[in-house]
Structure 1
Amino acid sequence: MSRKILVTGSAGFIGYHLSQLLLDEGFAVLGYDGMTDYYDVALKQGRHAMLRENARFTAVEGMLEDATLLDKVADDFAPDAIIHLAAQAGVRYSLENPRAYIDSNIVGTFNVMEAARRLGVDHLLMASTSSVYGANTAMPFIETETADTQLTIYAATKKATESMGHSYAHLWNLPTTMFRFFTVYGPWGRPDMALCKFVEAILEDRAIDIYNRGEMYRDFTYVEDLVRAIRLLIDAVPQRPEGGAVAEGDSLSPVAPYRVVNIGNSGKVSLLDFVDAIEDSLGKKAIRNLMEMQKGDVPATWADASLLERLTGYRPRTDVREGIARFVDWYRDYYRK
């Protein structure tokens, strides 16, 4: 089993939780993070500070676009596996600043893949998103479906990294797993995400914007479930299939040690039920501002997580009400509200 893991985006929401889990299980973790100011840097610094309490964690601050620094860090650490989570996130921000997504998600990911190729790591695991399914309407979403109708530059850059990853897996026999995340939430979540914005607004007696007049559905995935799935996927190393034979339902490439895996809770939750659960956890009603659909958004996401379960014996199961209650407890403690 791989014991040394390089995690990009370790000060991020998911990267922090994953790094903590890996440390708890005895791994040595090198965290690489750009500490960009897309949202409050103090939140990122707080996450890294907690990770630094473990002697097996080392943090390096640097941008993915800085190939020289990334290569030096990777060479010195010599990881067994790389988990690439760092990215410019946010569907809506990609409408305002698309170049940031090209720089971080395309150029940065290329630099990570080059480091993985050069070092010959046992396994490269990279984050994608449910947004790559774009305008697909057949649900639940299955990894073997064609996904060529991305609706935002964010989703397009993530689909591009999937294609880049496949080419490197094929050319260099680099075992690569791409995981598609479905609406991740939980403690230490990003302040630009709906859950955090809704909780803050309700507590401050401000209206919350509910798009498509509430006719929205998401497969909400609790962050601790998500990182447990990533941890288990480290050991599910894809192998190039002999003769191109791939089992039915497996997204394994017929020509490369490459696979795409959904990580989701396998259930649709309506946005209005999501708001109801927040209200119940806060003991306070929201002022609801019903709005039209926002450009680039999709009305629903829903994961088929059966491949994840086949590969790892695990699938996320935390009920959204339970997960929201845990987030609210953290939010009140962290923000003293």
Structure 2
Amino acid sequence: MTYLITGAAGFVGFHLCKRLLSEGKKVIGIDNLNDYYDVKLKKNRIKFLEELSSDIENWNFFEVDLIDKLKLEKIFNNYKPSIIINLAAQAGVRYSIDNPEIYLNSNIIGFGNILECCRKYSIENFLFASSSSVYGANTLVPFNEDHNVDHPVSLYAASKKSNEIIAHSYSHLFKIPITGLRLFTVYGPWGRPDMAPMIFAKSIFEKVAINIFNYGKMKRDFTYIDDVIEGIIRCSNKPATPDYEFDRSKPNPSTSLAPFRIFNLGNSEPIQIMKFIEVLEDIIGIKAIKNFSEMQPGDVETTYADCSKVNDWIDFIPQTSLIKGIEIFIDWYKDYYFEKKNI
């Protein structure tokens, strides 16, 4: 069995490849290594994976953009992957406001190309990363997969919502087992520099002000990376199936008569942003300098995952406490940025 992971040099993709390779699985990694954030960090992730895999046949990496359909098809034809996990996407809510074309190309056209390859090469299972951002302007919490998600408040969220709709169409037409996972504020070692945990840690260490939006009245369902990877692995081992109790007169948004499922993947314990910063301060041993300001366009006040459906499906219960997760994250941060001098 061969896994193909897109976005392999990204935060979640790297950790997924690391887990699979450590279990002796054959993995093909794809990433375009774009410069949305520190390319050196992405290359160091790939270097780590290369060093982890002693068997060259178990790990193959290709610098390919999902827009390049011909190169994608060549990889599918040569390696015949059976499980595809699409984690490649142009990330960032605020970045999407000023750069919509990038999101249309990567998150929609690129996503369509990978689905076309899945159709042509008869894969066994397809998973893709959606996002908690699809809940958009919803105020009813916790967010449940049965809630309406037709009101995204950012172009990034809209692109993720479109992924879910397009994926369902492919599942219905071509009977491809497809699972979409709505991820909630993932954090941990090797994290993305554009996300709050890395921004906060960097600012505290460097003793510069942290911009805290909505005057600190924000909550996020921070989910530790290892818990997310466990959920992805379990879903990869259990392809989506049709919901034979699906009622066309009252359609369930998270299932279908097609082999299609949508699940939240979060910690189900929303944390005040100020609490998260306090834990960082305690573990780092330095007080943060705080700069409070209003909510930014495209942002939401609270994210909170109802994970009862994914728990029923794969017995998913996050195991990592906030304090433990931040301790591991800060240990890595100090090792990577201070001791190894960013390699």
Asked if TM exceeds 0.5, the reply is yes
Q: Secondary structure at the match of 1:336?
A: helix
Partner of 1:21: 19
1:39 is aligned to 37
Relative distance call for 1:278 and 1:250 in structure 2 (3 A) is: farther
Residue 95 (structure 2) pairs with residue 93 (structure 1): yes
Percent of paired sites with the same residue: 44
| C-alpha distance 249-47 of structure 1, shift in aligned 2 (>3 A) | farther
Partner of 1:130: 132
* Preserved CA contact (<8 Å) 1:238 1:252: no
Letter of the structure 1 residue corresponding to residue 90 of structure 2 = Q
Q: TM-score, normalised on structure 2?
A: 0.94
Paired residue for 1:144? Answer: 146
What are the residue-to-residue correspondences of 1:45-194 with 2, within 5 Å? 45-53=43-51, 54=53, 55=55, 56-194=58-196
| Separation of aligned partners in 2, 1:297 and 1:68 | 36
Q: Give the CA deviation at 1:26.
A: 2.3
For residues 183-231 of structure 1, what are the alpha-carbon distances to aligned partners after superposition, in whole Å with 9 as ceiling and x for unaligned?
A: 0000000111111111111111110000000000000000111011100
Query: 2:315 is aligned with what amino acid?
Result: G
Opposite residue 10 of structure 2, the aligned amino acid is G
Equivalent residue for 2:280?
278
Counting only pairs closer than 5 Å after superposition, residues 232-271 of structure 1 correspond to structure 2 as 232-242=234-244, 244=246, 252-271=254-273
SS at match of 1:52: helix
Residue 92 of structure 1 aligns to a residue in which SS?
Answer: helix
Partners of 1:263 and 1:316 within 8 A in 2: no
Contact 1:180–1:260, Cα closer than 8 Å, also in 2: yes
Q: RMSD of the alignment, in Å?
A: 1.6
Give me the whole-angstrom Cα distance separating, in 2, the residues matched to 1:252 and 1:213.
34
In the TM superposition, residue 242 of structure 1 has moved relative to its aligned partner by 3.7
SS at match of 1:239: coil
Report the secondary structure of 2:93's partner residue.
Answer: coil
Q: Does 1:228 align with 2:226?
A: no
Aligned residues: 334
**How many Å separate the matches in 1 of 2:128 and 2:314?**
17
CA separation in 1, counterparts of 2:246 and 2:330? 48
Alpha-carbon displacement from aligned partner over 1:82-107 (angstroms, at most 9, x marks no partner): 00000000111112211111110001
Shift of 1:313: 1.4
Aligned to 1:211: 213
CA distance in 2, matches of 1:148, 1:293: 22
- List structure 1 runs of 4+ shifted beyond 6 angstroms: none
The Cα of 1:324 is off from its aligned counterpart by 1.2
Q: Mark the CA change 1:196 to 1:241 in structure 2 (over 3 Å): closer, same or farther.
A: closer
Letter in 2 for 1:138: L
Q: Is the 8 A contact 2:242 2:257 kept in 1?
A: yes
Say whether the 8 Å CA contact 2:181–2:263 is kept in structure 1. yes
Deviation of residue 249 (structure 1)? 12
CA distance in 1, matches of 2:76, 2:18: 20
Q: Is the Cα–Cα contact under 8 Å of residues 254 and 263 in structure 2 kept in the other structure?
A: no
SS in 2 for 1:100: helix
Q: Which consecutive residues of structure 1, in runs of 5 or more, have no partner in the other structure?
A: none
Which piece of structure 1 moves more, 307-316 or 86-95? 307-316
Aligned mate of 1:316, from 277, 297, 318: 318
Whole-Å separation in 1 of the counterparts to 2:309 and 2:317? 9
TM-score between the two structures when normalised by the length of structure 1: 0.96
